[in-house]
Structure 1
Amino acid sequence: MLTSGGKPKITRKMEAAIAALLTAPTIAEAAAAVGVHEQTLWRWLQQEEFQGRYREAKRQAVAQAVARLQQATTKAVDTLEEVMDDDLATPSSRVTAAKTVLDAAFKGIELDDLAARVDELERLAGQERDN
């Protein structure tokens, strides 16, 4: 099925396949989950429009994970505070876990900042092309 511009149209089944690709461990299982042949899903994965939608869905999934990590930083700080205040606790594994959450959250912020910078550079490059 093509749009008026000649591009392949993303159908509901394709949207379901994109969701399945995000959760299924293999292409074959994603195809089975939406009731299409594996070769069909491979063919869709070659289409530019499908690739773009799939890439965006993956970005959104990662953004949600990063947001959850950022929210968990409060709990990580609480854990660090508990360990620091508890003279009897063996803190090594808890501190390591808390540090891991904090490191991941900081990396998420760095990635957000980099994405914003790239967006700004792309916007400026677009303005120069238009001039």
Structure 2
Amino acid sequence: MTMALQTLGQERARHAWEEVERALRAGGDFNKDFADQAKKMPMRIRTAGLAHTLAYLRAKDQGRQVREALENWINRQRPPAQGQPKALVERCIREDSAFLRWATAEALAYLEWLTRFADARKKQEAKTES
């Protein structure tokens, strides 16, 4: 049996879909806690930078599931060295500028899928409630 090769875009999409589904199963206010936070995150990153955005959301205790999904994705693509922190905000401030540039670009590419799927599920949930 051969494994089908997937493009990076397909891998991003699959992971984002799984994270959206997990957030829905977790309960809570999916729209406020996940979909809305996912939608705001790319602009926050473009405006303030990845590390600042993550630190801000962590300090305000907002977007936990979105932050975890993004951190999980980045750590899967570039695992931290043994003994190094896994928290993305810490990696952004401890690793070199090349990592920060890559992580920012990858975060924005990943968030396109996460936002798209979260918005679709938000609309689907609204239809089933009415």
Normalised by the size of structure 2, how large is the TM-score? 0.29
Relative contact order: is structure 1 or structure 2 higher (C-alpha 8 Å, sep ≥ 6)?
Answer: 2
Q: TM-score, normalised by structure 1?
A: 0.29
